Amino acid sequence: MIPIRYVEPVFRPPSEAESLILPVTDGCSWNQCTFCEMYTAPQKKFKAREADEVLESIRLTGERYGDQVRRVFLADGDALVLPTRRLLAILEAIRAHLPAVRRISSYCLPRNLRKKSQQEIDELAAAGLKMVYVGAESGDDQVLAAVQKGETFDSTCAALDKLGNAGITRSVMILNGLGGKLLSAQHADNSARLANATQPEYLATLVVSFPTGEGRLRAGFPGWEPLGQHELFVEMERFLSGLELERTVFRSDHASNWLVLKGTLGADKERLLQQVRQAVAAPEAARLRPAWARGL
Protein backbone atom coordinates (compact mmCIF):
# COMPACT_ATOMS: atom_id res chain seq x y z
CA MET A 1 0.00 0.00 0.00
CA ILE A 2 1.25 3.50 -0.85
CA PRO A 3 1.96 5.35 2.44
CA ILE A 4 0.03 8.45 1.40
CA ARG A 5 -3.33 9.69 2.72
CA TYR A 6 -5.78 10.43 -0.10
CA VAL A 7 -8.95 12.47 0.36
CA GLU A 8 -11.27 11.58 -2.51
CA PRO A 9 -12.01 12.73 -5.13
CA VAL A 10 -8.47 13.40 -6.35
CA PHE A 11 -8.04 14.92 -9.83
CA ARG A 12 -4.99 14.88 -12.04
CA PRO A 13 -4.35 15.74 -15.69
CA PRO A 14 -4.67 12.77 -18.09
CA SER A 15 -0.94 13.01 -18.85
CA GLU A 16 -0.15 12.27 -15.19
CA ALA A 17 -1.66 8.77 -15.32
CA GLU A 18 1.71 7.16 -14.57
CA SER A 19 2.71 9.61 -11.84
CA LEU A 20 2.81 9.24 -8.11
CA ILE A 21 0.05 11.58 -6.89
CA LEU A 22 1.35 13.36 -3.80
CA PRO A 23 -1.19 15.60 -2.01
CA VAL A 24 0.49 18.63 -0.49
CA THR A 25 -2.81 20.45 0.01
CA ASP A 26 -6.42 19.30 -0.02
CA GLY A 27 -8.90 21.14 -2.25
CA CYS A 28 -8.49 24.42 -4.11
CA SER A 29 -7.48 27.65 -2.35
CA TRP A 30 -9.79 29.68 -4.61
CA ASN A 31 -12.73 27.33 -5.15
CA GLN A 32 -15.04 30.06 -6.48
CA CYS A 33 -15.19 29.42 -10.23
CA THR A 34 -18.89 28.96 -10.91
CA PHE A 35 -18.36 26.28 -13.60
CA CYS A 36 -16.19 24.04 -11.38
CA GLU A 37 -17.41 21.50 -8.86
CA MET A 38 -14.19 19.59 -8.47
CA TYR A 39 -13.46 20.53 -4.88
CA THR A 40 -16.89 21.41 -3.50
CA ALA A 41 -17.35 18.29 -1.34
CA PRO A 42 -17.06 19.07 2.40
CA GLN A 43 -14.02 16.83 2.83
CA LYS A 44 -12.23 18.85 0.11
CA LYS A 45 -12.38 22.17 1.98
CA PHE A 46 -9.03 23.83 1.31
CA LYS A 47 -6.22 23.00 3.70
CA ALA A 48 -2.47 22.97 3.36
CA ARG A 49 -1.15 19.65 4.64
CA GLU A 50 1.23 19.64 7.59
CA ALA A 51 4.82 19.70 6.38
CA ASP A 52 5.65 16.69 8.57
CA GLU A 53 2.94 14.57 6.99
CA VAL A 54 4.06 15.36 3.44
CA LEU A 55 7.75 14.81 4.18
CA GLU A 56 7.00 11.53 5.98
CA SER A 57 4.90 10.34 2.99
CA ILE A 58 7.83 11.06 0.69
CA ARG A 59 10.30 9.30 3.00
CA LEU A 60 8.11 6.18 3.35
CA THR A 61 7.35 6.06 -0.39
CA GLY A 62 11.08 6.28 -0.99
CA GLU A 63 11.76 3.40 1.40
CA ARG A 64 9.25 1.14 -0.34
CA TYR A 65 9.36 2.20 -3.99
CA GLY A 66 12.38 4.54 -4.13
CA ASP A 67 13.81 3.69 -7.52
CA GLN A 68 10.50 2.93 -9.28
CA VAL A 69 8.90 6.37 -9.16
CA ARG A 70 9.79 8.54 -12.18
CA ARG A 71 7.12 11.21 -12.06
CA VAL A 72 5.38 13.00 -9.21
CA PHE A 73 2.25 15.16 -9.44
CA LEU A 74 1.75 17.51 -6.49
CA ALA A 75 -1.97 17.58 -5.67
CA ASP A 76 -4.54 19.11 -5.11
CA GLY A 77 -6.14 21.96 -7.08
CA ASP A 78 -3.31 24.52 -6.84
CA ALA A 79 -0.31 23.11 -5.01
CA LEU A 80 1.77 26.17 -5.87
CA VAL A 81 -0.26 28.16 -3.35
CA LEU A 82 2.20 26.90 -0.71
CA PRO A 83 4.99 29.29 0.26
CA THR A 84 8.18 28.85 -1.77
CA ARG A 85 10.19 27.59 1.19
CA ARG A 86 7.65 24.80 1.82
CA LEU A 87 7.63 23.85 -1.84
CA LEU A 88 11.42 23.79 -1.91
CA ALA A 89 11.50 21.47 1.12
CA ILE A 90 9.08 19.11 -0.67
CA LEU A 91 11.07 19.18 -3.92
CA GLU A 92 14.30 18.55 -2.02
CA ALA A 93 12.78 15.61 -0.11
CA ILE A 94 11.60 14.10 -3.41
CA ARG A 95 15.11 14.41 -4.80
CA ALA A 96 16.61 12.83 -1.68
CA HIS A 97 14.19 9.92 -1.23
CA LEU A 98 12.96 9.27 -4.78
CA PRO A 99 16.15 9.58 -6.82
CA ALA A 100 14.64 8.18 -10.05
CA VAL A 101 12.12 11.05 -10.32
CA ARG A 102 12.62 12.98 -13.57
CA ARG A 103 9.50 15.15 -13.59
CA ILE A 104 7.58 16.96 -10.87
CA SER A 105 4.43 18.83 -11.85
CA SER A 106 1.32 20.43 -10.39
CA TYR A 107 -1.74 22.55 -11.11
CA CYS A 108 -1.14 26.26 -10.67
CA LEU A 109 -3.32 29.35 -10.49
CA PRO A 110 -1.86 32.66 -11.68
CA ARG A 111 -2.65 34.11 -8.21
CA ASN A 112 -0.32 31.48 -6.66
CA LEU A 113 2.63 33.22 -8.32
CA ARG A 114 1.62 36.83 -7.76
CA LYS A 115 3.75 37.26 -4.66
CA LYS A 116 6.51 34.90 -5.76
CA SER A 117 9.45 36.66 -7.38
CA GLN A 118 11.10 35.49 -10.58
CA GLN A 119 14.02 34.32 -8.45
CA GLU A 120 11.70 32.13 -6.36
CA ILE A 121 10.19 30.55 -9.48
CA ASP A 122 13.72 29.97 -10.81
CA GLU A 123 14.60 28.24 -7.53
CA LEU A 124 11.55 25.97 -7.84
CA ALA A 125 12.58 25.08 -11.38
CA ALA A 126 16.15 24.35 -10.26
CA ALA A 127 14.80 22.14 -7.45
CA GLY A 128 12.92 19.98 -9.95
CA LEU A 129 9.53 21.57 -10.74
CA LYS A 130 9.34 20.78 -14.44
CA MET A 131 5.77 21.33 -15.54
CA VAL A 132 2.60 23.11 -14.44
CA TYR A 133 -0.99 22.98 -15.66
CA VAL A 134 -2.74 26.34 -15.70
CA GLY A 135 -6.49 26.49 -16.15
CA ALA A 136 -6.58 29.86 -17.91
CA GLU A 137 -10.07 28.89 -19.19
CA SER A 138 -10.37 32.12 -21.22
CA GLY A 139 -8.35 35.14 -22.23
CA ASP A 140 -11.42 37.35 -22.12
CA ASP A 141 -11.77 39.54 -19.02
CA GLN A 142 -15.57 39.73 -19.28
CA VAL A 143 -15.88 35.93 -19.37
CA LEU A 144 -13.34 35.50 -16.56
CA ALA A 145 -15.26 37.96 -14.37
CA ALA A 146 -18.63 36.39 -15.18
CA VAL A 147 -17.45 32.92 -14.08
CA GLN A 148 -15.54 34.25 -11.04
CA LYS A 149 -12.20 32.87 -12.12
CA GLY A 150 -10.53 35.61 -10.09
CA GLU A 151 -7.99 36.21 -12.85
CA THR A 152 -7.62 38.47 -15.88
CA PHE A 153 -5.85 38.36 -19.22
CA ASP A 154 -2.97 40.31 -17.64
CA SER A 155 -2.69 38.24 -14.45
CA THR A 156 -2.64 35.01 -16.47
CA CYS A 157 -0.03 36.39 -18.87
CA ALA A 158 2.18 37.54 -16.00
CA ALA A 159 2.13 34.08 -14.39
CA LEU A 160 2.73 32.23 -17.66
CA ASP A 161 5.64 34.54 -18.47
CA LYS A 162 7.26 33.98 -15.05
CA LEU A 163 6.97 30.22 -15.52
CA GLY A 164 8.29 30.42 -19.07
CA ASN A 165 11.26 32.54 -18.00
CA ALA A 166 12.15 29.88 -15.43
CA GLY A 167 12.04 27.17 -18.11
CA ILE A 168 9.03 25.44 -16.52
CA THR A 169 6.85 23.72 -19.14
CA ARG A 170 3.39 25.28 -19.26
CA SER A 171 0.25 23.37 -20.14
CA VAL A 172 -2.68 25.75 -20.56
CA MET A 173 -6.36 24.79 -20.56
CA ILE A 174 -9.06 26.77 -22.39
CA LEU A 175 -12.76 25.95 -21.99
CA ASN A 176 -14.70 25.78 -25.26
CA GLY A 177 -18.19 27.19 -24.67
CA LEU A 178 -17.40 29.03 -21.43
CA GLY A 179 -18.62 32.40 -22.74
CA GLY A 180 -21.94 30.91 -23.82
CA LYS A 181 -23.65 32.25 -26.93
CA LEU A 182 -23.35 35.86 -25.82
CA LEU A 183 -19.56 36.04 -25.46
CA SER A 184 -18.45 33.20 -27.72
CA ALA A 185 -16.65 35.34 -30.31
CA GLN A 186 -14.70 37.48 -27.86
CA HIS A 187 -13.90 34.39 -25.75
CA ALA A 188 -12.36 32.76 -28.83
CA ASP A 189 -10.48 35.88 -29.95
CA ASN A 190 -9.03 36.80 -26.57
CA SER A 191 -8.15 33.20 -25.66
CA ALA A 192 -6.15 33.01 -28.89
CA ARG A 193 -4.56 36.36 -28.01
CA LEU A 194 -3.56 34.98 -24.59
CA ALA A 195 -1.96 31.90 -26.14
CA ASN A 196 -0.15 34.04 -28.73
CA ALA A 197 1.18 36.40 -26.07
CA THR A 198 2.54 33.60 -23.88
CA GLN A 199 3.43 30.81 -26.36
CA PRO A 200 2.79 27.89 -23.96
CA GLU A 201 4.46 24.56 -24.67
CA TYR A 202 1.09 22.76 -24.42
CA LEU A 203 -2.41 24.01 -25.08
CA ALA A 204 -5.56 21.98 -24.47
CA THR A 205 -9.23 22.71 -24.92
CA LEU A 206 -12.07 21.05 -23.03
CA VAL A 207 -15.78 21.61 -23.55
CA VAL A 208 -17.39 23.16 -20.49
CA SER A 209 -19.79 20.56 -19.11
CA PHE A 210 -22.23 20.46 -16.21
CA PRO A 211 -22.96 16.98 -14.87
CA THR A 212 -25.04 18.46 -12.01
CA GLY A 213 -26.54 21.46 -13.81
CA GLU A 214 -25.66 24.99 -14.86
CA GLY A 215 -27.39 26.78 -11.95
CA ARG A 216 -24.29 28.20 -10.25
CA LEU A 217 -22.87 29.50 -13.51
CA ARG A 218 -26.15 31.06 -14.66
CA ALA A 219 -26.63 32.80 -11.30
CA GLY A 220 -23.52 34.93 -11.86
CA PHE A 221 -23.70 35.15 -15.65
CA PRO A 222 -27.10 36.51 -16.67
CA GLY A 223 -28.09 35.49 -20.20
CA TRP A 224 -25.58 32.63 -20.43
CA GLU A 225 -26.81 30.01 -22.90
CA PRO A 226 -24.84 26.86 -23.67
CA LEU A 227 -23.37 26.38 -27.14
CA GLY A 228 -24.79 23.56 -29.21
CA GLN A 229 -22.46 21.20 -31.02
CA HIS A 230 -22.35 23.33 -34.19
CA GLU A 231 -21.64 26.52 -32.21
CA LEU A 232 -18.84 24.79 -30.30
CA PHE A 233 -17.20 23.97 -33.65
CA VAL A 234 -17.68 27.54 -34.89
CA GLU A 235 -16.03 28.85 -31.72
CA MET A 236 -13.18 26.38 -32.10
CA GLU A 237 -12.67 27.45 -35.71
CA ARG A 238 -12.44 31.07 -34.66
CA PHE A 239 -10.02 30.24 -31.81
CA LEU A 240 -7.75 28.12 -34.01
CA SER A 241 -7.77 30.72 -36.79
CA GLY A 242 -6.55 33.33 -34.32
CA LEU A 243 -3.65 31.24 -33.02
CA GLU A 244 -0.17 32.30 -34.06
CA LEU A 245 1.98 29.80 -32.23
CA GLU A 246 5.56 28.88 -32.92
CA ARG A 247 5.86 25.50 -31.26
CA THR A 248 2.96 24.39 -29.10
CA VAL A 249 1.56 20.89 -28.73
CA PHE A 250 -2.20 21.30 -29.17
CA ARG A 251 -4.67 18.78 -27.81
CA SER A 252 -8.42 18.79 -27.92
CA ASP A 253 -8.83 15.14 -27.02
CA HIS A 254 -10.37 15.25 -23.54
CA ALA A 255 -13.53 13.14 -23.23
CA SER A 256 -15.65 16.32 -23.14
CA ASN A 257 -14.80 17.12 -26.78
CA TRP A 258 -16.98 15.99 -29.69
CA LEU A 259 -14.18 16.41 -32.16
CA VAL A 260 -10.72 15.08 -31.36
CA LEU A 261 -7.95 17.40 -32.58
CA LYS A 262 -4.23 16.80 -32.07
CA GLY A 263 -1.20 18.44 -33.59
CA THR A 264 1.67 20.84 -33.23
CA LEU A 265 1.04 24.51 -33.84
CA GLY A 266 1.86 26.34 -36.04
CA ALA A 267 2.95 23.41 -38.29
CA ASP A 268 -0.45 21.66 -38.24
CA LYS A 269 -2.70 24.71 -38.18
CA GLU A 270 -4.13 24.27 -41.68
CA ARG A 271 -4.83 20.54 -41.19
CA LEU A 272 -6.58 21.17 -37.85
CA LEU A 273 -8.58 24.04 -39.32
CA GLN A 274 -9.70 21.79 -42.16
CA GLN A 275 -10.89 19.20 -39.66
CA VAL A 276 -12.89 21.79 -37.72
CA ARG A 277 -14.30 23.34 -40.89
CA GLN A 278 -15.49 19.95 -42.01
CA ALA A 279 -17.24 19.50 -38.66
CA VAL A 280 -18.84 22.95 -39.06
CA ALA A 281 -20.03 22.28 -42.62
CA ALA A 282 -20.91 18.58 -42.45
CA PRO A 283 -20.81 17.12 -38.94
CA GLU A 284 -22.26 13.83 -40.22
CA ALA A 285 -19.11 13.35 -42.32
CA ALA A 286 -16.69 14.30 -39.50
CA ARG A 287 -15.51 11.61 -37.11
CA LEU A 288 -17.17 12.77 -33.90
CA ARG A 289 -17.10 11.17 -30.48
CA PRO A 290 -20.49 9.55 -29.85
CA ALA A 291 -22.59 11.28 -27.18
CA TRP A 292 -22.41 8.22 -24.87
CA ALA A 293 -18.61 8.39 -24.85
CA ARG A 294 -18.44 12.02 -23.80
CA GLY A 295 -17.94 13.07 -20.22
CA LEU A 296 -15.94 15.17 -17.81
Least Å from the CB of residue 175 to ligand SAM: 5
Query: The dihedral of CA 125, 129, 130, 133: what is its sign?
Result: negative
Site string for ligand SF4, 16-35 (x = CB under 6 A): ------------x-xx-x--
* Gap between the Cα atoms of 126 and 128, Å rounded: 5
Number of Cβ atoms within 10 Å of the Cβ of 242: 16
- DSSP class of residue 58? H
Least Å from the CB of residue 273 to ligand SAM: 23
Nearer to ligand SF4, 136 or 240 (CB): 136
* Gap between the Cα atoms of 286 and 259, Å rounded: 8
| One residue of 15, 196, 199, 209 binding ligand SAM per CB under 6 A | 209
What is the DSSP annotation of 76-116?
STTGGGS-HHHHHHHHHHHHHH-TT--EEEEE--HHHHTTS
Site string for ligand SAM, 88-107 (x = CB under 6 A): -------------------x
- Which residues between 43 and 102 bind ligand SF4 (CB under 6 A)? 77
Residue 31 interacts with which of ligand SF4, ligand SAM, none, CB < 5 to 8 Å by class? ligand SF4
Residues that bind ligand SAM (CB under 6 A): 11, 28, 35-36, 38, 77-78, 107, 109, 134-135, 137, 173, 175, 206, 208-210, 256, 296
